[in-house]
Amino acid sequence: MRTVLVIGAMFFAGAAAAQESKVVLKDGPGRDKAQACVACHSLDYIQMNAPFLDKAGWTASINKMINAFGAPIPREDVDVIATYLAERYGKPGSTK
């Protein structure tokens, strides 16, 4: 019985892992700078927040990551990253 449970658990774990997909940032200007986000969290965070954030929201989020969590992002890269995220992942019309 124990063997059946172990095999069953392995099957379900394998099935769950097979459904996971690796998140890759979309190509575009600023992608290299936005890659710095993975120093602290997965790229899933970007996709999860994309429907809610415009450029101002992305800018605020990046600044929060720097100020509150010490993200290793140079201040001069904030606008480049926010523009990239708004254009590639933001709500429609979010680059304003």
Give the pLDDT confidence score for residue 4 in this predicted structure: 46
Q: How far from 30 is each of 1, 71, 77, 85, CA to CA, in Å?
A: 54, 17, 9, 8
Question: Which pLDDT value is given to residue 27?
Answer: 95
Residue numbers of the chain with a pLDDT score lower than 50? 4-6, 8-9, 11-12, 15-18
Q: How high is the pLDDT of residue 51?
A: 85
Question: According to the model, what pLDDT value does residue 96 have?
Answer: 53
Q: What is the pLDDT of residue 95?
A: 55
List domains and CATH numbers for the chain: 22-89 (1.10.760.10)
Nearest-angstrom CA–CA distance, 25 and 37: 11
CA-wise closest residue to 35 among 68, 76, 72: 72
